[in-house]
Amino acid sequence: MAIRTRFAPSPTGFLHVGGARTALFCWLQARKEAGTFILRIEDTDLERSTEASVEAILQGMAWLGLQEDEGPYYQSQRFERYTEVLEQLRSQGLAYPCTCSKERLEALRAEQMAAGLKPRYDGRCRDREVLDEGVAPVMRFRNPTDGEVVFHDQVRGPVRFANEELDDLVIARPDGSPTYNFCVVVDDMDMEISLVIRGDDHINNTPRQINIYHALGATPPDFAHVPMILGEDGARLSKRHGAVSVLQYRELGYLPHALLNYLVRLGWSHGDQEVFTREEMIELFDIEAVNRKAAAFDHEKLKWLNQHWMKTLPPEEVAVELQPQLERLGLDPAQGPPLEDLISVQAERVQTLVELVEASRWCFEDFEDFDVGAAKKHLRPVAAEPLQALRERLQALDDWTPEALDVAVKAVVAELEIGFGKLAQPLRVALTGAGMSPSIDQTLWLVGKGRSLERMERALAFIAARAAQA
Ligand code: GLU
């Protein structure tokens, strides 16, 4: 049977990078084996689940291009099914109602802790015929009391738990609503999941879930528990290490593929290869090769990959991400050069799309004033003649390409027998307002003919006014 994996986030917050990496691993393994990738929203905790979080998860997944083959399924729409399975377990004596009060359970816990024991339910209601009245019971799963649960984890290898260590888990709350460990088993069984890939914070749930599968007469899936992501200081990755939400990375100007490429390498490697296309990831990834040790998030490496992919992906693809970024930062994409041209020039000079926008404002809007320092240094009377000469030449130029522009600039430099910088630097200040920009032919190309001529005229007027003052 073809492999079936699922990503099963609880919608109690944004989609964080750890979740995204789990989703990526599930998606890759399914793609690799021509299987099915399922998305399931685990919203049984009605108090903590929010619509906004569901939306953020779906948006994050779509942005990353981790398209589900089935779903999204919602646990909140499956309560009838859970109730049915609960009834089945209860009628078979595999689940039982428990009326132990909170106070009793707390006292029991305190007693066990004081005696140096692991706190666990003592099974008081397990075989009671008569229950306390006036207390809404929870439902507990009758866990086997001896033997052990053994499974082969695809990341961690063999894992064993003694049943003695597991107590009778609450599978339905007093209001009848089912709990996580129960729903997850019913879902994974009904959805015929063959491989559960999830964070290793769930490893202690796995033996309990395996016992529930057995009680239901179902074969448990295979499991792969992936280690958590750490911050650069070795503590669990959190907000204080920087951005942790996937959509935040979009806002910061990262390409979805750069983030995926970064995440696939967190805990997995293929020799010393760092750069992976989507196709290479699918071909080379293997969940069994994931390292069981936790990996640390490295923002610098992510930036490096982002620049790599800005330079390497087809500019049309990068443009899809750049356009909303320009709008968000207050620029009108229609007022500048084709985005593909801009990307081809600027990608190698910046690490994020936000940096790209900030380094390219002069392509989209006129600047208010020349940068004082740059103007003082470069817009001097001696610059007037070369600027004027070039302006005349450019006026007659129809072929507005970097190559033709380069020829024009060099021709003026040769004609006036001046150093290249004597024209290029004043021209740069004239075109962008400041002293830093791509090569001068590319700068002219991006600014465009009409605007370049206007801005050169403005610089010439500035120089004339300055000469008049002196
Ligand atoms: N909903 C669980 C979580 O977000 C994941 C459950 C699972 O993958 O089994 O942590």
112 lines ligand 1 (CB under 6 A): no
Burial of 67 (0-12, 13-18, 19+ CB in 10 A): exposed
Domains of the chain, start order: 79-226 (3.40.50.620), 239-362 (1.10.1160.10), 366-469 (1.10.10.350)
From residue 174, how far is each of 134, 180, 241, 242, 291 by CA, in Å?
12, 15, 40, 40, 41
248 lines ligand 1 (CB under 6 A): no
- Specify the amino acid at residue 295: A
- Choosing from 4, 7, 10 the residue with most ligand 1 atoms within 8 A of its CB, the one to mutate for a pocket test is 10
Q: Active-site residue 239, yes or no? A: yes
427 lines ligand 1 (CB under 6 A): no
Specify the ligand 1 atom closest to the Cα of 22.
Answer: 8
Set 32, 102, 118, 239: catalytic member: 239
From residue 259, how far is each of 54, 355, 422, 436, 469 by CA, in Å?
21, 17, 43, 29, 55
pLDDT in tens, the chain (470 residues): 899 999 999 999 999 999 999 999 999 999 999 999 999 999 988 889 999 999 999 999 999 999 999 999 999 999 999 999 999 999 999 999 999 999 999 999 999 999 999 899 999 999 988 888 888 999 999 999 999 999 999 999 999 999 999 999 999 999 999 999 999 999 999 999 999 999 999 999 999 999 999 999 999 999 999 999 999 899 999 889 988 999 999 999 999 999 999 999 999 999 999 999 999 999 999 999 999 999 999 999 999 999 999 999 999 999 999 999 999 999 999 999 999 999 999 999 999 999 999 999 999 999 999 999 999 999 999 999 999 999 999 999 999 999 999 999 999 999 999 999 999 999 999 999 999 999 999 999 999 999 999 999 999 999 999 989 87
226 lines ligand 1 (CB under 6 A): no
83 lines ligand 1 (CB under 6 A): no
Specify the ligand 1 atom closest to the Cα of 7.
Answer: 8
42 lines ligand 1 (CB under 6 A): yes
CA of 81 to the centre of ligand 1 (A): 19
CA of 79 to the centre of ligand 1 (A): 18
CA of 10 to the centre of ligand 1 (A): 6
From residue 257, how far is each of 24, 57, 302, 381 by CA, in Å?
11, 17, 11, 49
